[in-house]
Amino acid sequence: MSSAGVIALGQIPEDLAILPMCLEGSRSPHCLSGSQLKDSIFIFVAVPGAPPMPMSVLGSESIASVKLRIQRFRGFVVNKQRLVLDGHELARNNSHVKDYGLADGNILHLVIRLADLRLINIETTSGKKFQFQVDQSRNVKYLKSKLAVEGDEDLSEDHKLECDGKELEDHQLIADISKKDGAVIHLFIRKPAKLQTQQVDIDTVVTVVTPQEKENLQNEARAVNPVEPAGVTPALIEPIIVNQKVKLSPEVMRMISSAIAGLENGYLPVMSAEGSGGVYFMQNASGEKNIAVFKPIDEEPMAENNPRGLPVSTDGEGMKRGTLVGEGAFREVAAYILDHPIGDHESEKHDGFSGVPPTALVQSLHRGKSFKIGSLQMFIENNGSCEDMGPGAFPVKEVHKIAVLDLRLANADRHAGNILVNKEEGGKYKLIPIDHGYCLPEKFEDCTFEWLYWPQAREPFSDETIAYIKTLDAEEDIKLLKFHGWELSPRCARVLRISTMLLKKGAARGLTPYDIGRILCRETVNRDSEIEDIVQEAEDHVLPGTTEVIFLETVSEIIDRHLDMKFA
């Protein structure tokens, strides 16, 4: 999962708290020139677990430059990070700070992935559960102190932490317990208990084995839902189906069945170190591998229970303009439903053209505590993401299948980190698109496609891809989503109709993904994209009260004229 976990920078000395950060990362009241002082903006970078970090930036400075200086501060370097202002991501790296309206006193929320951070879950002898994000340079004594203070626990000498059957000494570093980047450590304290560990992919999981309660985790996972009649045990994962005529694909059913088997055997969801929302790995029956990824609705970015420290949305809008908090799960499922297979859109097997992993909306037992609603997506084994390597080795066909999906759904969050890479036999790379919580927005303002700048995007579509694009029908897609229980808002439906229209017209004229993508995406934050100008022209042209059909016909005519003039 791309996107990211949250970093804690630590305490800032009081004598440095009011001094701006210079361009090279030092602090001094005299580090800016006169012209820079006029352009200087004094802001704060907010991170969970630490006071806001004061920082001076220039209005003419790019977002990429600000991110780079944050990376260099105190020597940590990361690739994945997001800056969020007033609930919206500053996503366009080449845009200037002033283009986003950044002003003195504003607070930027920093969300990144940092390998030095470890997620620690502690279960005490009394059955209480706590969760801490701890830097791997901290020791076990620090962990105990956090438990004593925040957990209000009386830790006597009889209480101890054990891992792999050995007691953890106070001086031991968290890094010595788990050396895997991105690992999630689960520690359980129970006085007579012995702890055993196992390696699950990149995660080190420590579980409890007690003579008296050897099925304690399983019993917890099988807790009866209070709303169910006595003696009836609810399904641990249950698909949410609004229309009883809907048939889930065999792949989805197998995924749900495997995830249920994992929960029944006591393997509770494990939180990922990455993601701007709650992202949890569901394991199979043996606990040896991840089988699915669960994203609860109430833990989405800007949602009330978001675990990454992001502020709660004040107006309901998500991190991307034109999306609503709490609808990410629906969009994840919609991307899978609309990823039609070649030739037969009704295929039960559903091997989609773009390769979106099987996804369903489910109610799931969450970490043994309660049931939550969210999206469940099949976990795909991979060799990393496109962020981990240059795009030069990717086949044109693989890039184009991602481009078709993003252009059609007006994806507002396609970056290299949410395209997985799988190296197949023969050395060829297969790309897998994930994280579609910001597709199908109500407006085009935040459309961004990282592949737009890859050389493959300038290659023409193949005959096979053009034939596939010809079969796309936005009206049928809207009906299909309604059949599955999600009726798009009028504005979302309009965006889908227009983006599909542009893709079909562009492909028919022999345009490349780059040509079409440039029309959908803004070059800078404060300059409307070409498609936004086209929509505005159509709105200015038609009379108030004009039907949507007439409006779309007007848009179609303007697009034709625009393409003929630009690509004649």
Q: Where are the domains of the chain?
A: 40-112, 116-189, 237-567
Higher pLDDT, 113 or 530: 530
Q: Looking at beta carbons, which pairs linking 187-191 to residues 24 or more positions away fall under 8 Å?
A: 187/120, 187/121, 187/122, 187/123, 187/161, 187/163, 188/121, 188/122, 188/123, 189/122, 189/123, 189/124, 189/125, 189/159, 189/160, 189/161, 190/123, 190/124, 190/125, 191/125, 191/158, 191/159
Helix (H, G, I), strand (E, B) or coil at 40: strand
- 495 exposed, middle or buried (CB, 10 Å; 0-12, 13-18, 19+)? buried
User: Between the CA of residue 355 and those of 57, 262, 465, what are the distances in Å?
Assistant: 41, 25, 14
8 Å CB contact between 297 and 328: yes
pLDDT (tens digit, 9 = 90+) per residue, 288-305?
899 999 999 999 999 999
Least confident of 76-80, 242-246, 285-289: 76-80
CATH number for 116-189: choose from 3.40.50.880, 3.10.20.90, 3.40.50.300, 3.40.47.10. 3.10.20.90
| Cα(390)–Cα(518) distance, integer angstroms | 21
Show the DSSP H helices in 209-311 as ranges: 216-221, 250-264
Identify any residues that bridge with 271 across adjacent strands, giving them in sequence order: 280
Task: Establish whether domains 40-112 and 116-189 are of one fold.
Answer: yes
Predicted pLDDT of residue 547 = 96
Confidence tier at 481 by pLDDT (50, 70, 90): very high
Task: For the chain, report the end-to-end CA distance as a whole number of angstroms.
Answer: 41
Domain 40-112: assigned CATH number = 3.10.20.90
Confidence tier at 318 by pLDDT (50, 70, 90): very high
| Cα(252)–Cα(333) distance, integer angstroms | 11
Length of the chain: 568
Predicted pLDDT of residue 143 = 74
Least confident of 113-122, 325-334, 517-526, 545-554: 113-122
| Cα(554)–Cα(423) distance, integer angstroms | 45
User: Between the CA of residue 217 and those of 164, 224, 233, 290, 371, what are the distances in Å?
Assistant: 18, 14, 16, 18, 16
Continuous segment of H or E residues that includes residue 82:
strand 81-85
Q: How far is CA 157 from the centre of its chain?
A: 42
What is the residue type of 502?
A: L
pLDDT (tens digit, 9 = 90+) per residue, 396-405?
999 999 999 9
Confidence tier at 45 by pLDDT (50, 70, 90): confident
Show the DSSP H helices in 320-360 as ranges: 328-337
Identify any residues that bridge with 122 across adjacent strands, giving them in sequence order: 130, 187
pLDDT (tens digit, 9 = 90+) per residue, 441-470?
999 999 999 999 999 999 999 999 999 999
pLDDT (tens digit, 9 = 90+) per residue, 506-515?
999 999 999 9
Is the pLDDT score of 78 beyond 60?
Answer: no
Is the pLDDT score of 185 beyond 50?
Answer: no
Check: pTM over 0.95? Answer yes or no.
no
Is the pLDDT score of 333 beyond 80?
Answer: yes
